[in-house]
Structure 1
Amino acid sequence: MDLNELLSEEGRVDPPALYARLHRAGAAVAVDGGARGFAVAVHGFEAVAQVLKDGRFHQLDAAYLDLHTPQWRRHPALRVLRDSMFFTDGPAHDRVRQMIGRVFTARRVARLEHAVTGLTHRLLDRMDELSADGPVEFMGEFAYLLPSSVMAELLGVPQNDLAWFRPRVLAIGAILELDGATWRNMARADTAARELTAYFTELVALRRAEPRDDLISLLAAEDLSEDALIGNLITTFNAGFVTTTHLLGNGLTMLLERPELAASLSGENVASYVEEMLRFEPPVQILVRYAPEDAEIEGVPVPAGQAVLAMVGAANRDPARFADPDTFDPGRADAGSLSFGFGPHYCMGAALSRLEGQVAFPALLARFPKLALVEPSGGAPKPLILRGHDTLAVACHGG
């Protein structure tokens, strides 16, 4: 596979076209352009699942950056990411994951349904008010605010600070793209990381003085280094809503472009709709791992120190796993996807993200039966890893 083809404008607009060609070549292929550090693209469903659970393939940790970006510690954004469980493996990852997992138990998520429903309707009221002046920017007014407000409550972040967070979260997200670590992006991400570090350091001090029933108080009482504490708070807060934000934006687009399916959505079948949205246009399209030692996947060698592109978006359209994979079909019998990952780094917030989608979509369509996109969503390049809309203008009472 030519990496430049994936990174091209055409690749960003329509990655499924490339995915279809890759599937005709097997489950994994060598990547041209190894200077970027990527050796293999894995796109078969079972092969991607294998990479994500296989202990031979690690997160892009400090050891990987020492090989490929020796000056990485000069960048606060990279230090914050590598101090978190999202970029570590083994006991260090498992220990912090177990701590944070206490706020994502099935029982606690189930108790949040009433709060998510109430918040959804308050945001819909706000959209209704804004629509009096014209189209509403859905991503900022709903898709971001619903999951970030829930995560803020779980962590203990004041709701009034959410508007301040969004540009900083976007700045750090930009460097996670395959070609995102440009000088300009890194400068913005470093500034955001400094500001977020200062913010959470102050909030941790407040919680240590006056603990509450929130994740900041819980982690502040644990035996963690200050760097690990702050890094995990920043990344957990960011990761806790970014996936759902894109699920809501991508999912709404799918519905509005398929009015016959939107008309059939209800509270009874919404769970299958959300699963198909996640399969068809996963918010995270690519996960990256590397091999500390020589390895292979599907017969394709991975030299030590080189990375593997685990192409979740392609795996979710593998014709060996899904019938007619390029058709959006919420009634499919072969449901299921890798959109929340697999193995030890499976997304802890998956149940919460599903809940938010299952509450939001029926409520949106019931409140605004003539909801419409102001402009077609297709044709514009999107990010490849965190795939979704930056903005999405909708007419709440019809176009």
Structure 2
Amino acid sequence: MDGASIIEQLMTVEGRADPYPLYARAHELGAAAPAGPGAVLVVGHAAANQVLRDPGFVLEDTKALTAHHAELFAHPAIELLGRSILQRNAPDHGRVRSLIASAFNARRVAALRPTIEAAVRRLLDELAARGADGSPVDFMDAFAFRLPVEVICELLGVPAADRLRFRGLVSDLTVILELIQDFGELAAADAAAVELCSYFEELVAERLSRPTGDLVSDLARTAADSPDRISGEELLSNLVLLLVAGFETTTNLLGNGLALLFRHPEAAEGLRTGALDPSLFTDEVLRHDSPVQVTSRISTAPGLTVAGLPTPTGTVAFVMLGAANHDPARYPRPDRFDPTRTDSQPLSFGGGAHFCLGSRLARLENDIAVPALLDRFPRLAPGGVATRRDRLILRGYETLPVITR
């Protein structure tokens, strides 16, 4: 099996459901391997880290896509995220990211701890009430989605009454982040993009007339006063991105982590008693079953190599984050879930200029929520068959039934 056939298999239903056996096959090819004309598969931890940090490898941004696939921008979903920092290179990426980054620095994230703790207590109360009669409750809907969406919406300034509407919209929109084979099947993603843009357009107008000191108010004023720093279109795209990134990854982190705890009750007991450091548990969940599995870059400079493999200008590097996190050259027994590892350094949040802005916040939410969940429900148990979302890049559960007593 070569690199191209591994990518092909990863795009099947079976490959998406469990990509790890295919990652193991990929590691047999080396840290990087050809993956068809003009493409390379990157699975080694050091090799992936190199590509993510090397300025010679960039995103396939709007300019590049327009040159070869101008028809894609008839899709509002592709156009929307194409204007966000998720798919921008320098200098636009740095210009806009610098306006947002301060909201996610260490001091401001640490200051959110009381907000997170209060939200966790309230959601655990609701979870207890819903499962009081012993019936199963869907953890993904009742907790894993609601906690991070409350936190990011509080930071943005999205009213509480609007927050529960976003799960389905974001699920529809994020299809465009997958390895799409048929761009004709983006009707739901396009509709979600239009609705989310419209929502934030109205919220921005409201915050300009009545600012409240939240992130939307601050960015809206900057766009109005200094459009050279962030345009109105960039503002809307990046607000949608912040909403998506603010809960999508953390929702999957919480669900993937709880599923692992059901399979490893000794880890759950360690978190309950304090014998296991929650931050080490979070790191190991990120490493073992990453909420983000794949990203990509394009080589833009002559002479670039990855793990000794030449990558001529224009080569697409498929950076398999999930595989890099299971690199046997980096991790002893990589397929073993071991939350006592002390040097994980998972690549789940990316690296380099595009390292995830919300990584501190996601970690803090998980560090607080999981021990509190286990303490509140010492007999927490699976309540039925869990279902995975049929995704490769954004890996998580659609449903995860639990019994709380």
Q: TM-score, normalised by structure 1?
A: 0.93
**CA separation of 1:165 and 1:193: change in aligned 2, threshold 3 A:** same
Distance 2:142 2:97 in 1: 31
Q: How far off its partner does 1:322 sit?
A: 0.8
Describe the shift of the 1:374–1:181 C-alpha distance in structure 2 as closer, same or farther (beyond 3 A). farther
Is 1:324 matched with 2:333? yes
Query: CA contact under 8 A between 1:9 and 1:381: conserved in structure 2?
Result: no
**Aligned with 2:402: secondary structure?**
strand
Determine the structure 1 residue equivalent to 2:255.
249
Give the 3 Å change call, closer, same or farther, for CA 67–298 of structure 1 in structure 2. Answer: farther
Using the TM superposition, give the Cα deviation of residue 19 of structure 1 relative to its aligned residue in structure 2, in angstroms.
1.2
Aligned-partner Cα distance in 2 for 1:197–1:377: 32
Counterpart in the other structure of 2:171: 170
After superposition, the C-alpha distances for 1:316-336 in whole angstroms (9 at most, x for unaligned) are 111111111111111124322
| Equivalent residues of 2:109, 2:361 under 8 A apart | yes
Which blocks of at least 5 consecutive residues in structure 2 are unaligned? Answer: none
Write out aligned runs for 1:1-399 (5 A). Answer: 1=3, 2=5, 3-32=7-36, 39-132=39-132, 134-179=135-180, 182-184=183-185, 186-222=186-222, 223=226, 224-266=230-272, 267=274, 269-292=277-300, 295-377=304-386, 382-397=390-405
Higher alpha-carbon deviation: 262-271 or 75-84: 262-271
**Structure 1 stretches of 4+ moved >4 Å:** 292-295
| Secondary structure, aligned partner of 2:23 | helix
Q: CA deviation at 1:59?
A: 1.4
Deviations 1:301-322 (A, max 9, x none): 4454442111110111111111
1:193 Cα deviation (Å)? 0.8
Preserved contact between residue 132 and residue 404 of structure 2 (Cα < 8 Å)? no
Superposed CA deviations along residues 240-261 of structure 1, whole A, max 9, x for unmatched, are: 1111110000000000111122
Paired residue type of 1:264: G
| Inter-CA distance 90–328: structure 2 relative to 1 (3 Å threshold) | same
CA contact (8 A) 1:48 1:312 kept: yes
Q: Please, which moves more after superposition, 202-211 or 127-136?
A: 127-136
SS of equivalent residue, structure 1 residue 78:
helix
Residues matched between the structures, number: 391
Change (3 A) 1:161 1:4: same
Q: CA contact under 8 A between 2:299 and 2:313: conserved in structure 1?
A: yes
Q: Provide the identity percentage.
A: 44
* Greater shift in the superposed pair: 380-389 or 188-197: 380-389
CA distance in 2, matches of 1:142, 1:381: 17
Distance 1:181 1:166 in 2: 24
Q: Distance in 1 between matches of 2:258 and 2:197?
A: 34
- Quote the Cα distance in structure 2 between the aligned partners of 1:273 and 1:153: 26
Is the 8 Å Cα contact of residues 389 and 397 (structure 2) preserved in structure 1?
no
Contact between 1:323 and 1:334, CA under 8 Å: does it hold in 2? Answer: no
Measure how far apart 1:181 and its partner are: 5.1
Gaps of 5+ in 1: none
User: Is residue 389–residue 398 contact of structure 2 (8 Å, CA) maintained in 1?
Assistant: no
After superposition, give the CA deviation of every residue in 1:198-249 in whole Å (9 maximum; x if it has no partner): 1111111111111121111111122221111101111111111111110000
Counterpart amino acid of residue 365 in structure 1:
L
Mapped to 1, the partners of 2:197 and 2:289 lie a distance apart of 32
Q: Give the TM-score of the pair, scaled to structure 2.
A: 0.92
